[in-house]
């Protein structure tokens, strides 16, 4: 086993016995939601995974150790410290490990560490993608390229409309990444059920997704598989309201001259402030919904 990796006993045992395990990321805790809702949500997500028959493994870097499975104290520490924790994507892992620092893992970094531990399924809220204006800024999240390299089923609620969703889908197609939309013919857009963009593939059961991933690996194609699971109807937001907030957040970002890795956390925070508790509540409910589906997929593998 990798000398930097620390797998929590409960997770290690489950993996050894071939029991279903679901990975979770930590940037959503530190940079994606405000304290204390972030910690509360992290605990609820773990609970939901347990209720659905799988073992949760939240992933983060603590003192240079790549942790697979966090304690309640670890979650509190990450949630409270928030954006003061280094946001770690693929390029940052080695540096943070070598310096014995703490790091909150993004989707890309979580995929890498979860795969090192032998985990195959990971639940989150939204993934990074191709940003609006990427033809000038070249801002394309490292999350997308990770699907080329790392075998992992990632369950999300689509991507926020802070991104260019059409370009994001084009990019995934170019990179050869399979995308399944769960029980819908349209790509979900995080806060809303539909984006107006057709689903590349539709899946109607967890088993179908597990079978596709097994075939992908057996065929030697490698890489990850993205599942876009729409937000439940009752929590889907009014598109006009949420898109208005997104436009305003993008405007303010441009004025503030934000770029690089600060972009996504800045936009997430602005949107939350502009829409008040409503978008946060939707965000929490869609993550729980994804945790449930991820546990079902892990059980189907």
| Residues near ligand PSU (CB under 6 A) | 25, 27-28, 32, 89, 106-107, 125-128, 141-143, 160, 190, 261, 264, 268
Rounded Cα–Cα distance for residues 153 and 230 (Å): 16
Minimum CB distance to Mn ion, residue 242 (Å): 21
Alpha-carbon Rg of the chain, whole angstroms?
A: 18
Minimum CB distance to ligand PSU, residue 232 (Å): 17
- φ and ψ at residue 112, rounded to 5 degrees: -60, -50
Specify the residue, 8 or 261, whose C-beta has the smaller distance to ligand PSU: 261
Number of residues this chain uses to bind Mn ion (CB under 5 A): 1
Specify the residue, 92 or 139, whose C-beta has the smaller distance to Mn ion: 139
Minimum CB distance to ligand PSU, residue 3 (Å): 26
Alpha-helix runs per DSSP H in the chain: 9-16, 27-30, 37-51, 72-81, 93-98, 107-117, 134-137, 142-149, 165-174, 206-218, 239-256, 263-275, 277-300
Where residue 257 falls (left for φ over 0; alpha for ψ -120 to 50; beta otherwise) is left
Report the residue number whose CB is nearest to Mn ion: 139
- Which range, of 76-84, 131-139, 175-183, 277-285, touches Mn ion by CB under 5 A? 131-139
Running DSSP on this structure, what letter comes out for residue 120? -
Rounded Cα–Cα distance for residues 156 and 126 (Å): 5
Specify the residue, 90 or 193, whose C-beta has the smaller distance to Mn ion: 90
Rounded Cα–Cα distance for residues 25 and 74 (Å): 13
Burial 10-26 (b: 16+ CB within 10 A, else e): ebbebbeeeebbbbbbb
- Which range, of 102-110, 137-145, 176-184, 187-195, touches Mn ion by CB under 5 A? 137-145
Specify the residue, 180 or 190, whose C-beta has the smaller distance to ligand PSU: 190
Catalytic site residues? 25, 160
Residue pair 228/235 in contact by the 8 Å Cβ criterion: no
Biggest alpha carbon–alpha carbon distance for the chain = 53
Q: Which does 164 bind (CB under 5 to 8 A by kind): Mn ion, ligand PSU, none?
A: none
- Which range, of 44-52, 62-70, 103-111, 136-144, touches Mn ion by CB under 5 A? 136-144
Q: Which does 289 bind (CB under 5 to 8 A by kind): Mn ion, ligand PSU, none?
A: none
For residue 282, give the nearest of 212, 221, 233, 211 by alpha carbon: 233
User: Could you tell me how many residues make up the chain?
Assistant: 301
Minimum CB distance to ligand PSU, residue 261 (Å): 5
Minimum CB distance to ligand PSU, residue 87 (Å): 7
Q: Which does 126 bind (CB under 5 to 8 A by kind): Mn ion, ligand PSU, none?
A: ligand PSU
Specify the residue, 48 or 124, whose C-beta has the smaller distance to ligand PSU: 124
Q: Which of 25, 74, 92, 139 binds Mn ion (CB under 5 A)?
A: 139
Chain contacts with Mn ion (rule: CB under 5 A): 139
């Amino acid at each position: 086993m990798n000398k930097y990796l620390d797998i929590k006993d409960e997770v290690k045992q489950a993996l050894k016995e071939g029991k279903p395990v679901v990975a979770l990321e930590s940037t959503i805790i530190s940079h994606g939601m405000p304290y204390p809702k972030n910690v509360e949500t992290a605990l609820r997500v773990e609970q939901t995974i347990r209720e659905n028959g799988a073992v949760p493994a939240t992933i983060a870097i603590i003192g240079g150790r790549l942790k697979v499975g966090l304690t309640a104290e670890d979650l509190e520490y990450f949630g409270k410290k928030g954006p003061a924790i280094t946001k770690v994507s693929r390029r940052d892992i080695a540096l943070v490990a070598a310096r014995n620092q703490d790091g909150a893992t993004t989707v890309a970094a979580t995929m890498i560490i979860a795969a090192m531990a032998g985990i195959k399924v990971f639940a989150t809220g939204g993934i990074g993608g191709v940003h609006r204006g990427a033809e000038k800024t070249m801002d394309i999240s490292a999350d997308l390229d990770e699907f080329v390299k790392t075998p992992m089923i990632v369950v999300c609620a689509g991507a926020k409309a802070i991104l260019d969703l059409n370009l994001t889908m084009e990019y995934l197609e170019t990179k050869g990444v399979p995308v399944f939309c769960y029980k819908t013919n349209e790509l979900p857009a995080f806060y809303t059920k539909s984006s107006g963009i057709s689903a590349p593939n539709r899946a109607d059961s967890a088993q179908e997704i597990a079978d596709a991933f097994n075939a992908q690996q057996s065929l030697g194609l490698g890489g990850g598989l993205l599942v876009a699971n729409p937000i439940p109807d009752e929590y889907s937001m009014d598109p006009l309201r949420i898109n208005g907030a997104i436009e305003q957040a993008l405007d303010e970002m441009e004025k503030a001259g934000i770029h690089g890795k600060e972009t996504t956390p800045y936009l997430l925070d602005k949107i939350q402030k502009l829409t008040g508790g409503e978008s946060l509540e939707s965000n929490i409910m869609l993550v729980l919904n994804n945790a449930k589906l991820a546990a079902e997929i892990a059980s189907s593998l």
